[in-house]
Amino acid sequence: MEPRFEGKTALVTGAATGIGQATAVRLATEGAAVAVNHRPGTDPGETLRRIEAAGGQAFAVAADMRDPAQVVAMVGEAAGRLGRLDYVVSNAAVNPLMTWDETSIDDFNELFETNVRGTWVVCTEGARQMIREGHGGAIVCVSSISAHVGAPGQTAYCGTKGAISMLAKALGRDLGEHGIRVNAIEPGWVKTPMAEPLLAQPDALEYYTERVALHRGGEPPELAAVIAFLLTDDASYVTSATLLVDGGFIVNAEL
Higher pLDDT, 209 or 32: 32
pTM of the entire predicted model? 0.94
pLDDT digits (tens, 9 = 90+) for 79-108: 999 999 999 999 999 988 888 999 999 999
Mean pLDDT of the chain: 94
Annotated active-site residue in 8, 87, 161, 165: 161
Res 254 pLDDT > 70: no
DSSP 175-240: HGGGTEEEEEEEE-SB-SGGGHHHHTSTTHHHHHHHHSTTSSPBPHHHHHHHHHHHHSGGGTT--S
Which residue, 61, 27, 63, 19, is CA-closest to 138?
27
C-alpha separations of 153 from 11, 28, 91, 156, 205 in Å: 31, 36, 21, 9, 15
Annotated active-site residue in 8, 87, 146, 157: 157
Percent above pLDDT 90 for the chain? 81
pLDDT digits (tens, 9 = 90+) for 126-155: 999 999 999 999 999 999 999 998 877 789
* pLDDT of 152: 77
Could you confirm whether 144 is annotated as catalytic? yes
Q: Which range has the worst mean pLDDT, 68-72, 127-131, 149-153, 172-176?
A: 149-153
Annotated active-site residue in 144, 146, 165, 208: 144
Could you confirm whether 157 is annotated as catalytic? yes
Residue ranges of the domains in the chain? 9-253
Specify the CATH number of the domain 9-253. Answer: 3.40.50.720
